[in-house]
Structure 1
């Protein structure tokens, strides 16, 4: 008998993976957590029925949420990740030699523990000496740390459950205060095919707070709609003004200096969503 995992994006559409076996399934303090081994995408982390990352395509999301802001900033030393307990963003940040300290604020310690156990190819950076893993409320952590970080990466789950507070104007204002004078925030801001109205709403929030606001995109096979957006808010640096010839060479599978620039070129319908904000 074949076993399939299906994520329901809404009442009309979904995405399915053929499952080899279930590695773990549990109810944490905050959410339902599953780790499965799929036939095609390798091991997969699922939270509340929503696919978070897979061994096969995780590099796309993690490279784009990390390298675009870190190469936009002139010299990022202190980086905060809110969410991201799988460790994928940490893995990519560690490729930047200027970075001295990485704080991971993850509310659910079981995400971290399961990622270390079942997803070592993604989570191995969590054991690095530069990394501080803070198990607790990322919103509270941001509120308690002012003028401390060069880059804040909001690597959240979808805007349901424990992540709801990470999609509010109050939170983005708190991040502004958490950043240094030339700081940058990047947040994952969902698929325009599923969450177009949310993207418009978030863009309005960013524009109220940050002098430079730039959305960018990538293509992720296992995420809803495949086309994925990130929104950058910057106090000083324009990501489109980066000289690609000065971007150091690092080991990547998706991100390139040329892609750094081209990722800010939006399809017309998505450009309209942001410009209407």
Structure 2
């Protein structure tokens, strides 16, 4: 279930990880709550939206985006297109199955690992799980605390929640050993 926690985590985790997120692409059939979260940043961030449609993604310009927030059903082709539209420091976040679905998530994480240096699942609010795949920035080592702490009117996200959302138990670490790249 998407709620304020989901929307805040899907937007602010990547925007507070990337050093200079100027161009954001949101791929969603219900982008308004995500766009509203992007607009809470005081930085001058350009935000484009396309529908959750693989055909629309094919038309997006190469190397244009710093951050992609995708709710598009993903397979190898979709993930390749997302990587194509990200620039050399880009990162993507997308919802994934609960971490107990090791086989399904391992496939997604492995594909993302072909394009990104870092592939890490995180709790995206409530009981939902997402993954952040980054070509350059580490979500717990490179958090921009100043940006995270300057955000007003948030109900859930803060600079303490950000790194804590990436904490995983030993069972998860064991199940995803060699697949999660951190």
TM-score (normalizing by structure 1): 0.58
Is there any run of 5+ residues in structure 1 with no aligned partner, and where? 1-51, 108-136, 157-165, 221-225
For 1:214 and 1:274, the matched residues in 2 are separated by 10
Q: Is 1:175 aligned to 2:91, yes or no?
A: no
Report the counterpart of residue 122 of structure 2 in structure 1.
216
Kindly indicate whether the alpha-carbon contact (under 8 Å) linking 1:169 and 1:205 is maintained by their aligned counterparts in 2. Answer: yes
> Are 1:89 and 2:61 matched, yes or no?
no
Assess, with a 3 A threshold, how the Cα gap between structure 1 residues 146 and 218 changes in structure 2: closer, same or farther: closer
Query: Does the aligned pair in 2 maintain the 1:217–1:266 contact within 8 Å?
Result: no
What is the aligned partner in structure 2 of residue 106 from structure 1?
Answer: 51
Q: Which runs of 5+ in 2 are unaligned?
A: none
Which structure's CA Rg is the greater one?
1
After superposition, the CA RMSD in angstroms is 2.0
Matches of 1:73 and 1:219, distance apart in 2: 20
Where do 1:163-202 residues align within 5 Å?
166-193=73-100, 195-202=101-108
Q: Secondary structure at the match of 1:254?
A: coil
List 4+ stretches of structure 1 deviating above 3 A: none
Q: TM-score, structure 2 length as denominator? A: 0.86
Aligned twin of 1:271: 173
Structure richer in strand, relative to its length: 1
Q: Which has the higher contact order (CA 8 A, sep 6+)?
A: 2
1:174–1:60: structure 2 CA closer, same or farther, 3 Å change rule?
Answer: same
Shift of 1:70: 0.5
User: 1:80-107: per-residue Cα shift (whole Å, max 9, x none)?
Assistant: 1111415211111111122432112125
Residue 253 of structure 1: aligned partner: 155
2:50 touches 2:57 (CA, 8 Å); kept in 1? Answer: no
